[in-house]
C-alpha cells in the first residue's frame, strides 16, 4: 500500500517536472534574445564604469536603446580593446560597443553595423609645447598611443617617430602627462572629455582633426544579429532617441551620419586571407627580436636580483633585530603584492608622486622594467639564499671557526660554496619564473616578446597563430634555461665531477 502511494507521488512529481520544463522552455523561446556585448570600460565618455560599478557612457546608452528598438536585451562583458575583435571571431561576444572605427582591415574580420558616430583623431601635447600642430611635426618624436587603434596606425606612419603602445588610452595620456613622450594621438572626443572633466591637467589638443572616422558596432562575420542591430539603430536615429543620448553626453546636436563608412563603395573590399604558415613565418622575425629583449630583461634583472637578494637574504640572518625586520618587511611587501601592481606603481605612480611635490622626474622604460623585475625577484632570491645558508649544518661553521676562520671567511669559503649548490635548483626556477614574468612589462609599452605578438594581432587579427607562436618561443627560452641550469648543477657537483674524472682516469 505504502509502496503504491510512493510510486504515485513519484509519478506526479516527474510529471510536474516535465510540465515545468516544457512551460519554461516555451516562455524562454518567446523571450527576446540577449546579446553579450563586449565593452572596453576605460574609454570615457563612450564606455566607462560608474562609481557603483555599472557600465555607463554614450555607447552603453546607445546599445541599450538599440536593443530596445531592435528587440534584444544586452549583457556587458568587459574586454580590452585589442581583444574585442578576437573575442567576436571566437564567438565569446555577440557584438561590441567600443568606439570602434569602421576600417577596411577590420571589415575583413568582423561585420560592422551602419555608422553610429562621427569622430576623428587629434594630437594632444603638454601645455607649453611649441612646434607641434600637425602630423608632420611629429617626425622623430616620441608618441604614446593605445594598442590596436586607428591612432596607433596613424602615428606609426610618421617617419622616424618612436611609438609607445599602451593597453588603454588613459595610460597613453598619463605617459604624456608624466613627460615621457611628446604627444598622444587619440580619438578627439575622448581626449577632450578627459581634459574637460579635469582628470587630465596640463594637456591640450593642438591643430585640426587628423582624420574623419565613423564608429560602428562590430559583430561576428555573418552574424544573424546584424539586421536586428541595424534596424534598432535606424529606429533610434529617426525617433529622436539618438539625438537625446548625443545631447546627454556631448551637449550638442548630432551631425548627419552617412549610410556607409566607405562612401559610395557600400561594402569593404575583401582581400585574400593568408594561410597559417605564412602568418607565422611573417611574424617570426619580429617575435625573435622581441625574444631577444625578453632575454635581456630577464638576464639583467636576475643579475641585480641576485645581488640584492643575497644581501637581503644575509640580512634576514643578521643578529641585529632591526636589520632582520627590515629585510623581512621588504620580502613580505614584494612577495605579497602582485608584480603587475608593482610595475604600475613604479612606472606611473612614482613619477606622478614626485611631480606632485614639484620634482621633475621621469622614468626610462627599460630602467623602470629592470627596477620592478629586480626588486621583485630579489625578494624571492633572498628567501632562497636564506634557506640555502641555513641548510648547511652548524658543525661546519664550528669546524671552520675552530680552524681560526672568522665569520666572514667562514661564510665565504665554507658555507656559501656549499649553499650555492643547494640554491641552484630553486634559483633556476626563479629565473624561469622571471623570464615569463617579463611579459608583464608589456603594460608599460615595452616591446618584448609578448607585446610584439599582441601588436601583430592588432594588425592582422590572427590571435591563434600568433599567441601559439609566442607561447612556443617562451617554451624554447625556458627549456634552454633549464638545460643551462642542469649543466651548472652538474659542473658544480664535486661528486659527479670527481667521479667523471676517475672514470676518465681509469680509461
Residue pair 47/59 in contact by the 8 Å Cβ criterion: yes
Using alpha carbons, select from 94, 88, 90, 77 the residue that is nearest to residue 110.
88
| Kind plus residue range of the DSSP H or E element containing 13 | helix 2-30
Phi, psi angle pair for 125, to nearest 5°:
-135, 170
Closest to ligand GLN by CB, 213 or 430: 213
Cα–Cα distance, 396 to 390 (Å, whole number): 11
Residue 81 Cβ vs ligand GLN, minimum distance, rounded to whole Å = 5
Interacting residues with ligand GLN between 135 and 164 (CB under 6 A): 146, 149-150
Neighbours of 282 (CB within 10 A): 14
Closest to ligand GLN by CB, 454 or 481: 454
Among 38, 40, 143, 377, binds ligand GLN (CB under 6 A): 40
Count, residues near ligand GLN per rule CB under 6 A: 12
Closest to ligand GLN by CB, 122 or 293: 122
Closest to ligand GLN by CB, 150 or 438: 150
Closest to ligand GLN by CB, 190 or 331: 190
Residue 495 Cβ vs ligand GLN, minimum distance, rounded to whole Å = 60
Residue partners of 115: CB distance under 8 A and separation at least 6: 102, 214, 215, 216, 257, 258, 259, 260, 261
Cα–Cα distance, 100 to 84 (Å, whole number): 10
Angle, vertex CA 56, rays to CA 50 and CA 61, nearest 5: 155
Interacting residues with ligand GLN between 79 and 108 (CB under 6 A): 81, 98-101
Cell 665554507 locates to 414
- The binding track of 219-258 with respect to ligand GLN, each residue x by CB under 6 A or -, is ----------------------------------------
Counting contacts by CB under 6 A, is residue 438 touching ligand GLN? no
What single string gives the DSSP state of each residue in 159-194? TT-EEEEESSHHHHHHHHHTTSSSEEEEEHHHHHHH
Closest to ligand GLN by CB, 143 or 169: 169
Terminal CA-CA length for the chain: 92
- The binding track of 329-368 with respect to ligand GLN, each residue x by CB under 6 A or -, is ----------------------------------------
Q: Hey, what's the cell of 467?
A: 599567441
Residue 75 Cβ vs ligand GLN, minimum distance, rounded to whole Å = 19
Using alpha carbons, select from 100, 37, 102 the residue that is nearest to residue 65.
37
For residue 166, how far is the Cα from the chain centroid?
A: 8
Q: Hey, what's the cell of 172?
A: 597613453
Interacting residues with ligand GLN between 174 and 193 (CB under 6 A): 187
Residue 94 Cβ vs ligand GLN, minimum distance, rounded to whole Å = 18
With H, G, I as helix, E, B as strand and everything else as coil, classify residue 134.
coil
Closest to ligand GLN by CB, 81 or 416: 81
Residues found near ligand GLN in the complex (CB under 6 A): 40, 43, 81, 98-101, 146, 149-150, 169, 187
Amino acid at each position: 500500500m505504502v509502496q503504491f502511494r510512493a510510486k504515485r507521488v513519484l509519478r506526479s512529481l516527474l510529471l510536474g517536472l516535465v510540465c515545468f520544463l516544457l512551460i519554461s522552455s516555451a516562455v524562454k523561446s518567446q523571450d527576446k534574445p540577449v546579446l553579450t556585448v563586449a565593452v572596453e570600460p576605460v574609454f570615457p565618455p563612450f564606455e566607462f564604469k560608474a562609481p557603483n560599478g555599472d557600465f555607463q557612457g554614450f555607447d552603453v546608452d546607445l546599445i541599450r536603446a538599440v536593443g530596445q528598438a531592435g528587440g534584444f536585451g544586452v549583457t556587458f562583458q568587459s574586454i580590452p580593446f585589442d581583444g574585442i575583435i578576437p573575442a567576436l571571431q571566437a564567438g565569446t561576444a555577440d557584438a561590441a560597443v567600443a568606439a570602434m572605427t569602421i576600417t577596411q582591415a577590420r571589415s575583413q574580420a568582423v561585420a560592422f553595423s551602419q555608422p553610429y558616430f562621427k569622430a576623428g583623431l587629434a594630437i594632444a601635447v603638454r601645455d607649453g609645447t611649441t612646434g607641434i600642430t600637425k602630423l608632420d611635426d611629429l617626425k622623430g618624436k616620441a608618441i604614446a598611443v593605445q594598442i590596436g587603434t586607428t591612432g596607433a596606425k596613424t602615428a606609426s606612419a610618421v617617419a622616424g617617430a618612436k611609438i609607445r603602445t599602451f593597453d588603454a588610452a588613459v595610460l597613453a595620456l598619463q605617459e604624456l602627462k608624466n613627460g615621457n613622450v611628446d604627444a598622444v594621438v587619440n580619438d578627439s572626443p575622448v581626449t577632450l572629455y578627459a581634459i574637460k572633466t579635469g582628470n587630465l591637467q596640463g594637456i591640450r589638443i593642438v591643430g585640426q582633426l587628423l582624420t574623419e572616422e565613423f564608429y560602428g558596432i562590430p559583430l561576428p562575420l555573418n552574424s544573424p544579429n546584424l539586421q536586428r542591430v541595424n534596424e534598432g539603430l535606424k529606429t533610434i536615429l529617426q525617433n529622436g532617441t539618438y539625438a537625446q543620448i548625443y545631447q546627454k553626453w556631448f551637449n550638442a546636436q548630432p551631425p548627419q551620419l552617412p549610410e556607409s563608412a566607405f562612401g559610395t563603395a557600400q561594402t569593404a573590399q575583401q582581400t585574400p586571407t593568408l594561410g597559417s604558415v605564412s602568418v607565422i613565418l611573417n611574424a617570426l622575425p619580429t617575435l625573435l627580436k622581441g625574444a631577444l629583449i625578453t632575454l635581456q630583461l630577464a638576464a639583467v634583472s636576475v643579475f641585480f636580483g641576485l645581488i640584492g637578494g643575497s644581501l637581503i637574504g644575509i640580512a634576514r640572518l643578521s643578529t641585529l633585530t632591526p636589520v632582520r625586520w627590515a629585510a623581512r618587511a621588504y620580502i613580505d611587501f614584494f612577495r605579497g603584492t602582485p608584480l603587475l601592481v608593482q610595475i604600475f606603481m613604479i612606472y606611473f605612480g612614482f613619477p606622478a608622486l614626485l611631480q606632485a611635490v614639484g620634482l621633475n622626474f621621469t622614468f626610462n622604460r627599460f630602467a623602470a622594467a629592470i627596477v620592478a623585475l629586480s626588486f621583485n625577484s630579489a625578494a624571492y632570491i633572498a628567501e632562497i639564499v636564506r634557506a640555502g645558508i641555513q641548510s648547511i649544518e652548524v658543525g661546519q661553521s664550528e669546524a671552520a671557526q675552530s680552524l681560526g676562520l672568522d665569520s666572514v671567511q667562514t661564510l665565504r669559503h665554507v658555507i656559501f660554496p656549499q649553499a650555492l649548490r643547494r640554491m641552484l635548483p630553486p634559483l633556476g626556477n626563479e629565473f624561469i619564473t622571471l623570464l615569463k614574468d617579463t611579459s608583464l612589462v608589456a603594460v608599460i609599452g615595452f616591446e618584448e616578446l609578448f607585446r610584439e605578438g599582441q601588436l601583430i594581432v592588432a594588425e592582422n587579427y590572427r590571435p591563434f597563430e600568433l599567441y601559439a607562436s609566442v607561447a612556443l618561443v617562451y617554451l624554447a627560452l625556458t627549456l634552454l634555461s633549464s638545460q643551462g641550469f642542469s649543466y651548472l648543477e652538474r659542473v658544480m657537483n664535486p661528486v659527479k665531477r670527481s667521479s667523471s674524472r676517475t672514470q676518465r682516469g681509469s680509461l
